[in-house]
Structure 1
Amino acid sequence: MTLAIAAHELHDCRQAFAETLAELAESDPRTVAVCNDSIGSSNLKNFQRRFPDRLINVGIAEQNMVGVGAGLAGGGRVPYVCAAAPFLTGRALEQIKADVAYSRANVKLCAMSPGFAYGQLGPTHHGVEDFAWLRTLPELTILTPADPEETREALRWAHSYDGPVYLRIGRTKVPDVTPHVPFRAGRAARLRDGDDITLICAGTTVPAALEAAARLAADGVHARVLNFSTVKPLDEEAVLAAARDTGRIVTVEEANVHGGLGSAIAETVVTHAPVPMRLLGVGDEFTPTGSAAFLADYFGITADAVVRAAGELLRAGADAS
């Protein structure tokens, strides 16, 4: 299966989030939103107009915000706790751990504008540590949808699921990359077939992986592309199949590779089916200040970087043989 990208049609996933949240609120009166003085950046203005008594703005108090969400869940509501990714996770990690994950509260943590989306505001506003921090918490499902349709499906699934969920809701505009590929929580989606190498991606890096695969195909290299929209629980079956079928894996993520998606893949691979890998993402340094595009190029999470990494693995394999 090969998917084409509508490169000139770009979308803000926050719009799909806002529309779907309003639909859920219309059909389920338990639905409430909680935010940290972020009605605009969380795209909740329409929700506030339609459901003014179901939006709670706690002000710039993220720890309190998560606690309020947990309390609402305990009272039978389904709270969507919305805040910029670095502040939701960095400031309220203890509450996420104790009040949400440990308590298995039915709270949906909505991390708005993750990764490099707030590029020019610098490393304090870059949400790249969240996978590493949250992967260590039992009971917490971690989702990172790649485009508007997957955002809608992930949100609907989260609403149907009785338990804590963390969703990355992207601000950076992206093309449609998951047409006709249904979202299944806990399962990777194969966006392109191939048996020479596997490219594993998630969220905003899916377009780069697909572009890289198309360029590799032009050179006769058949790359499998797997979209891991669920970072936890990890689809180990898809990882091991990729390792055994293709013998090489490149991971690419808009997050820190130390503890992130790449680490999760590597942990599975090294334990059960060791193969050569390259992990592309943020390394052991604070992110500089610059646009999202500049930062993607700086950290090598572009199609060019994926092609280079794939080429290194392929050449190393050829030399070894």
Structure 2
Amino acid sequence: MSRVRRGPWAAGMAGTPAAAMSDPSKPRLTTSAMIASLVSEGQRSSTAPFGHALVEAARNRPDIVGMTADLGKYTDLHIFGAEYPDRYYQMGMAEQNMMLAAAGMAHEGFVPFVTTYAVFASRRTYDFISQGIVEEGLNVKICCALPGLTTGYGPSHQATEDIAIFRGMPDLTIVDPCDALDIGQATHAIAAHQGPVYMRLLRGKVPLVLDEYDYRFELGRASLLRDGADVLVISSGLMTMRALEAAKLLETDRVSVAVLHSPTIKPLDEATIVREAGRGGRAVVVAENHSVIGGLGEAVAGALLRNGVAPPLFRQVALPDVFLDAGALPTLHDRYGISAEAMARSIKGWL
């Protein structure tokens, strides 16, 4: 049984009538809420970048193994499983057990890539990750789908506070890549990195945008994708894509927007952030697909405060500190202010 079906909300929220679920003679409808694509019409994309990158990374690395909690298909780890079936472990709906099994594998010299949904990793297995993996400094890579508001299934599956939960954990590297290029390169980088990593994933068809900006992922480094005189947007994850789109929208209003992509949340590239935020008297806006509490915005604010940098304006584009609604992603993104159009309206209103 797929994890999509677990819980009493499945029939109502997944768009699958209860009768179709219980009557095997009727076709089983697919749901758009769980696997909704972030690719807009006409946008370039790449399919399953994480799965394909992990296959490449594992080609000359027999120590790399894949482990999932009944979510191989929904985290693109099934691509790895098809290529290396003897190195693929289906652990069932038992995330806590899976994390400790990954710790055991790491103790034996393997490099487990563990996949589940971000809500399950952050809320359900925190103590097991902390004491079983990170405190021991084990080489486990925890790669999680459905970060922030990337599903319409409501609070049970929307990991709006995962970065806040994990940022306080010592010695855990946190990565929030933007697009297919970023995910592929980040997968190779964390495979080469020694130590525990938590990485957010976009799955399925993933937009491809950063190849237009001569971009290359570097663990622990932020990258200035475009410069601008009026506003500096510091962003991570899919919000970097939205920031680039909003910057183009704001050009028609003669607002010049710089975009600084920070795919590594921890350790944060404070040197680059402080330098760019202190240059030119620009407003600073932090954009993230995460709660306004405890994520990149507060990390950046703390870095600026510690380094004595006070921009003329500091604002956040982020999810509100509430349990979010269920529904269609485009509607929810506009409602909660993280669509490109909503972001452009906010920035224009703040200036």
Query: Same fold by TM (over 0.5)?
Result: yes
Matched, 1:286 2:323: yes
1:165-206: CA deviation from partner (whole Å, max 9, x where unpaired): 111111375432211211111111111111211012211112
Q: Which residue of 2 aligns with 1:165?
A: 197
**Is the partner of 1:64 in helix, strand or coil?**
helix
1:250–1:309 Cα contact (<8 Å) kept: no
Is the deviation greater in 302-311 or in 35-44?
302-311
Instruction: Show CA shifts across 1:99-142 (max 9, x none).
Output: 222111100000112222221x2110001111101111111111
- Answering whether residue 294 of structure 2 is matched by residue 259 of structure 1, we say yes
C-alpha separation between the residues in 2 aligned to 1:39 and 1:174? 17
Aligned to 2:144, the other structure's residue is in SS state strand
How far the C-alpha of 1:219 sits from its partner, in A, is 2.4
- Counterparts of 2:265 and 2:274 in 1: how far apart (Å)? 15
In structure 2, C-alpha distance between the alignment counterparts of 1:270 and 1:36, rounded to whole Å:
41
Aligned to 2:102: 69
Provide Cα deviations, 1:259-281, integer angstroms capped at 9, x if missing partner. Answer: 01111111112332122211111
**Identity within the alignment, %:** 35
Determine the structure 2 residue equivalent to 1:124: 156
Letter in 2 for 1:199: V
2:35 match: none
The answer to whether the aligner puts 1:84 opposite 2:121 as a matched pair is no
Aligned match of 2:332 in 295, 298, 306?
295
1:96 aligns with 2:155: no
- Which is further off, 300-309 or 276-285? 300-309
Alpha-carbon distance change, 108 to 26 in structure 1, aligned in 2, over 3 angstroms: same
| Gap regions ≥5 residues in structure 2 | 1-38
Whole-Å separation in 2 of the counterparts to 1:89 and 1:193: 35
Deviation at 1:147, TM superposition (A): 1.0
Cα contact 1:114–1:171 (8 A) shared by 2: no
3-state SS of the aligned residue for 1:211?
helix
**Corresponding residue for residue 310 of structure 2:** 274
The amino acid of 2:310's aligned partner reads: P
CA distance in 1, matches of 2:267, 2:79: 33
Aligned to 1:318: none
Offset at residue 48 of structure 1 (A): 2.1
Residue 213 of structure 1 corresponds to which residue in structure 2?
A: 247
C-alpha separation in 1, matches of 2:328 and 2:60: 39
Greater mean deviation of Cα atoms: 173-182 or 92-101: 173-182
* Aligned residues between the structures: 308
Q: Is the 8 A contact 1:10 1:173 kept in 2?
A: no
Tell me if 1:186 matches 2:223: no
User: Cα RMSD over matched residues?
Assistant: 1.8
Contact 1:242–1:249 (8 Å) recurs in 2: no
Could you tell me how far apart the structure 2 residues matched to 1:148 and 1:223 are?
23
Tell me the TM-score normalized by structure 2: 0.83
CA deviation profile, 1:28-53 (whole Å, cap 9, x unmatched): 10010111011211223332232222
Counterpart in the other structure of 2:92: 59
For structure 1, list consecutive stretches of 5 or more residues without a partner in the other structure: 315-321
Higher relative helix content: 1
Instruction: Specify whether residues 293 and 174 from structure 1 end up closer, same or farther in structure 2 by C-alpha distance, changes over 3 A only.
Output: farther
Please report how far the alpha carbon of residue 152 of structure 1 lies from its aligned counterpart in structure 2 after TM superposition: 1.0
* Residues 34 and 69 in structure 1, CA contact (< 8 A), matched pair in contact too: yes
Q: How far off its partner does 1:220 sit?
A: 2.3
More moved, 252-261 vs 43-52: 43-52
TM-aligned CA distance change 1:172 to 1:50, over 3 Å:
closer
Counterpart Cα distance in 2 of 1:140 and 1:41: 24
Preserved contact between residue 35 and residue 59 of structure 1 (Cα < 8 Å):
yes
- Whether contact under 8 Å (1:147, 1:174) holds in the other structure is yes
Tell me the SS of whatever aligns to 1:125. Answer: coil
- In the alignment, residue 297 of structure 2 is paired with which amino acid? G
Contact kept, 8 Å, 1:141 with 1:232, in 2: the verdict is yes
Q: TM-score, normalised by structure 1?
A: 0.91
Q: Would the alpha carbon gap of residues 6 and 123 (structure 1) be closer, same or farther in structure 2, given more than 3 Å must change?
A: closer
CA gap of 1:35–1:101, structure 2 versus 1, over 3 A, is same
